[in-house]
C-alpha cells in the first residue's frame, strides 16, 4: 500500500488498468464515427483523464478539438453542492457533436448541469464520458454514455481527483484509508 503525504492509499484501479481502459474507451467512442467532435473537459478533476483519453482517441483515428470548462461543486470538501461555472468554454458549440469528460459521475449534478447548458447552446449531440461511475450516490437522473470503471461507494483520489486539493498527481486511483503511522 503506497504512502503519500503521510497517508495510506489503497489502490483500486492501477496505472495499467487505467491505460488499458482508456484505449478501450477510445475505440468505443471512435466506433460512433463522430462528425466534427469537440471534447470538453470539466476542470479540475478530469484533466489527467482527459489528456490520456484525447491521446487514445488520436491513436483510434479521432482528432477532436478540445475545450475546457471549470465547474465547482465540491470546493474543498467531499460533498457535492450546486454547480457553479468558474470558467466557461470559448468555442461556439452550436451544431457540434460534444463529448463532455468528467472524472467521476456521482450525484450527477455537474454532468446534468453541463449537458443541459451545452444543449441549450445548440449542440447537435452531447455524450458524457466519466472515468468513474458511482451509481449509489446518484441524485440526478443521468447516466454516462461511456464509463471507465464502476466505482465502489468510497471517496476516490488520484488520476486528477483530489481531497482538499491533494493527491491529484497520483498515476492510479485509490482511497485514503488512514494515516501512515496508524
pLDDT digits 0-9 by tens, 11-54: 999 999 999 999 999 999 999 999 999 999 999 999 999 999 99
Which of these, 164, 162, 148, lies nearest to 14 by C-alpha position? 148
Q: How far apart are CA 7 and CA 93, in angstroms?
A: 42
Q: Domains in the chain, please, with CATH?
A: 10-30+38-75+94-167 (3.40.50.2020)
Interval 76-129: pLDDT, tens: 454 556 788 999 999 999 999 999 999 999 999 999 999 999 999 999 999 999
162-176, pLDDT tens digit by residue? 988 899 999 999 998
Asked if 3 and 174 touch (Cβ cutoff 8 Å), the reply is no
Helix (H) or strand (E) holding 37: strand 37-43
User: Considering the entire predicted model, what is its pTM?
Assistant: 0.91
* pLDDT, position 138: 92
Amino acid at each position: 500500500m503506497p504512502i503519500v503525504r503521510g497517508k495510506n492509499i489503497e489502490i483500486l484501479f492501477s496505472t495499467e488498468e487505467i491505460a488499458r481502459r482508456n484505449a478501450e474507451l477510445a475505440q468505443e467512442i471512435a466506433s460512433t464515427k463522430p462528425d466534427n467532435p469537440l471534447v470538453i473537459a470539466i476542470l479540475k478533476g478530469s484533466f489527467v483523464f482527459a489528456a490520456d483519453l484525447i491521446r487514445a482517441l488520436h491513436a483510434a483515428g479521432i482528432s477532436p478539438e478540445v475545450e475546457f470548462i471549470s465547474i465547482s461543486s465540491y470546493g474543498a470538501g467531499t460533498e457535492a453542492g450546486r454547480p457553479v461555472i468558474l470558467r466557461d468554454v470559448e468555442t461556439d458549440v452550436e451544431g457540434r457533436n460534444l463529448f463532455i469528460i468528467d472524472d467521476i459521475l456521482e450525484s450527477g449534478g455537474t454532468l446534468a448541469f453541463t449537458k443541459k447548458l451545452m444543449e441549450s447552446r445548440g449542440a447537435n449531440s452531447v455524450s458524457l464520458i466519466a472515468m468513474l461511475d458511482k451509481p449509489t450516490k446518484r441524485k440526478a437522473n443521468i447516466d454516462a454514455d461511456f464509463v471507465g470503471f464502476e466505482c465502489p461507494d468510497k471517496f476516490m483520489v488520484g488520476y486528477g481527483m483530489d481531497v482538499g486539493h491533494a493527491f491529484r498527481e497520483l498515476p492510479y486511483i485509490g482511497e485514503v484509508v488512514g494515516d501512515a503511522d496508524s
